[in-house]
Amino acid sequence: MRENYSIPASFKRLTTKGSRLDKVSLSESVRQHILLILVSRWDHLRADPNFGSAFWEHDFDSSSVLESKRHEFEKDIKESILRYETRLDPNDLKIAFKVYGSPLPSSRSKKMLSLKKRIEMRVEGRLAETNKTFKPPPFLLYFSPVAIESKAKR
């Protein structure tokens, strides 16, 4: 049975004689690795430019655009997880997400502006090594494109 180390690793512990890295359960190790995939941009890992997720390509899209592309993203994320997290059984992996806007009141009207997006990502499956169900709490990702509202001088 292999060891599962916590992400991020403590580099101080790596360089201190007699020190040991924190270990986590198999399920927690898989969860941490999936989170690393989700928050990584494509082309930022020199060793493998395909490592990462599709979300960063759409950081400045509106919540409605993200929601309309939901099935496409779910497919892309599933492919990334299947490629880079081989400890999950590929036949049992399910991905689902929902996009929420964080509305703020507009000073010019009663309309609400959505300045921040929250994506709730659910990943479920089965751990191949133990045959146990993998169902961590949902991943919560926040995107926050800059938006400015100013009163025009007339």
Q: Which residues in 110-144 are b (16+ Cβ under 10 Å) and which e?
A: eeeebeebebebebebbbbeeeeebeeeebebebe
**Per-residue pLDDT reduced to its tens digit, 64-101:** 777 778 888 888 889 999 999 999 999 999 998 888 76
Q: How far is CA 46 from CA 41, 52, 58, 103, in A?
A: 11, 12, 21, 38
Q: For residue 137, what pLDDT is reported?
A: 93
Q: pTM for the full model? A: 0.77
**Residues 6 or more apart from 8 whose CB is under 8 A from it?**
none
- Segments of the chain with pLDDT less than 70: 1, 60, 62-63, 101-116, 144-154
Q: What is the pLDDT of residue 119?
A: 82
